[in-house]
């Protein structure tokens, strides 16, 4: 039993590390913000370097929330094979433990204070609750349609509240990249099909 919990903690820590490293490596947020500025001629957003750096930090946090929510959904909620038995999602208790270990690892890696960690945990729970409500209504989106996702709304408001619909469309494109990245990481780590005992 202790060995199973240790392997779960290791898998959760590895997932947290891989998500953050991939987010930094792929530069999704800086590309998203810079392309928005160019496409919509909003150079004023970059006029003050310190404010733009703060904006990018807030957008990175939102991206990490979206990545975490999608990865946790993939690992904990999607059915996976366990030996010869029928594929099933992770048991609730295991999922709660995985979630707890994931958050603890992310907090350590980011060096967050207790307040920052609690804020991130609250926002992640908000993301998960909102996504759980819209899950049955998920359908393919038309190219001109913004995604119904908390990342899209929050990032659009942070990025450019005066051109909200254009910012929502740009955030939708960034969300698609983030979801693909989360799927690749979960698939590469084998977390979505490996049983955790």
Domain ranges of the chain: 2-78+90-189
For 85, the 3-state DSSP assignment is strand
User: To the nearest whole percent, how much of the chain has pLDDT over 70?
Assistant: 81
155 DSSP 8-state letter: H
pTM for the model? 0.84
Distance between CA atoms of 102 and 124, rounded to whole angstroms? 12
Question: Does the pLDDT value for residue 144 go beyond 70?
Answer: no
The band of 137, judged by pLDDT with boundaries at 50, 70 and 90, is low
- Which position has the higher pLDDT, 194 or 173? 173
- Which position has the higher pLDDT, 77 or 12? 12
In angstroms, what CA-CA distances link 11 with 58, 125, 195, 197?
27, 20, 11, 12
Question: Does the pLDDT value for residue 79 go beyond 70?
Answer: no
Contact partners, residue 59, CB within 8 Å, separation at least 6: 29, 32, 33, 155, 158, 159
Distance between CA atoms of 32 and 98, rounded to whole angstroms? 31
- Which position has the higher pLDDT, 16 or 6? 16
Name beta bridge partners: 85: 82
The two tokens of residue 104 are 């603890």
Distance between CA atoms of 134 and 136, rounded to whole angstroms? 6
Predicted confidence at residue 184, as pLDDT, reads 93
**Range with the poorest average pLDDT among 16-20, 87-91, 117-121:** 87-91
The band of 189, judged by pLDDT with boundaries at 50, 70 and 90, is confident
| pLDDT, tens only, 41-74 | 999 888 899 999 999 999 999 999 999 999 999 8
The number of angstroms, rounded, from the C-alpha of 18 to the middle of its chain's C-alpha atoms is 12
Residue 84: is it exposed, middle or buried by C-beta count within 10 angstroms (0-12/13-18/19+)? exposed
The band of 142, judged by pLDDT with boundaries at 50, 70 and 90, is low
Residue 151: is it exposed, middle or buried by C-beta count within 10 angstroms (0-12/13-18/19+)? buried
| pLDDT, tens only, 12-50 | 899 999 999 999 999 999 999 999 999 999 998 888 999
Axis crossing angle, helix 28-39 with helix 164-189, rounded to the nearest 10: 160
Q: Which of 138-142, 159-163, 187-191 has maximum average pLDDT?
A: 159-163
Residue whose token pair is 């800086």: 30
Question: Which letter, b or e, does each residue of 20-30 get, where b requires 16 or more Cβ atoms within 10 Å of its Cβ?
Answer: bebbeebebbe
Question: Does the pLDDT value for residue 80 go beyond 70?
Answer: no
């Amino acid at each position: 039993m202790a060995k199973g919990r240790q392997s779960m903690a290791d898998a959760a820590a590895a997932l947290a590390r891989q998500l953050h490293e991939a987010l930094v490596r792929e530069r999704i947020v800086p590309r998203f913000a810079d392309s928005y500025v160019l496409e919509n001629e909003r150079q004023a957003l970059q006029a003050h370097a310190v404010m733009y750096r703060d904006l990018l930090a807030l957008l990175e946090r939102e991206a990490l929330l979206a990545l975490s929510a999608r990865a946790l959904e993939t690992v904990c909620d999607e059915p996976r094979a366990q030996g010869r038995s029928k594929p099933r999602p992770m048991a609730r208790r295991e999922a709660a433990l995985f979630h707890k270990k994931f958050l603890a690892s992310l907090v350590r890696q980011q060096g967050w204070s207790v307040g920052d960690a609690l804020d991130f945990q609250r926002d992640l729970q908000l993301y998960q609750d909102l996504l759980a409500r819209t899950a049955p209504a998920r359908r393919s989106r038309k190219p001109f349609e913004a995604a119904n996702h908390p990342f899209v709304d929050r990032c659009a408001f942070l990025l450019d509240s005066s051109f909200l619909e254009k910012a929502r469309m740009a955030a939708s494109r960034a969300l698609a990249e983030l979801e693909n990245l989360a799927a690749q990481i979960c698939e590469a780590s084998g977390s979505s099909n490996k049983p955790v005992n």
